[in-house]
């Protein structure tokens, strides 16, 4: 089982969020469960290779 971090918040009646590694791709849901399902769908699409020009976040180590 894979895991990834996501950022989320509630705005009125909606839950909004994005995958930490892909902050440009935000989604929403009427419940936290629906938001999580939408985030899983986005994760699969972004990692499928079918979407060109996907921007990611990475960490750079300095000595």
pLDDT in tens, 23-42: 999 999 999 999 999 999 99
Vertex 41, ends 38 and 47: CA angle to 5°? Answer: 140
pLDDT for position 63:
87
| Domain carrying residue 35 | 6-47
Single pTM value for the model = 0.85
Least Cα distance to 26 among 41, 12, 16 occurs for 16
Say if 54 falls within a structural domain.
no
Contact 7, 17 (CB under 8 A): yes
- Split into its structural domains, the chain has a count of 1
What span, in angstroms and rounded, lies between the C-alpha atoms of 8 and 31? 11
Q: Is the pLDDT reported for residue 16 higher than 90?
A: yes
11-45 burial, b if ≥16 CB within 10 A, otherwise e?
eeeebebbbebbeebebebeeeeebbebbeebbee
């Amino acid at each position: 089982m894979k895991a990834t971090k996501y950022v989320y918040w509630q705005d009125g009646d909606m839950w909004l969020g994005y995958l930490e590694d892909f902050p440009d791709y935000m989604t929403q849901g009427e419940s936290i469960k629906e938001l999580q399902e939408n985030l899983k769908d986005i994760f699969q699409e972004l990692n499928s290779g079918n979407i060109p020009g996907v921007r990611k976040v990475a960490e750079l180590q300095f000595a």
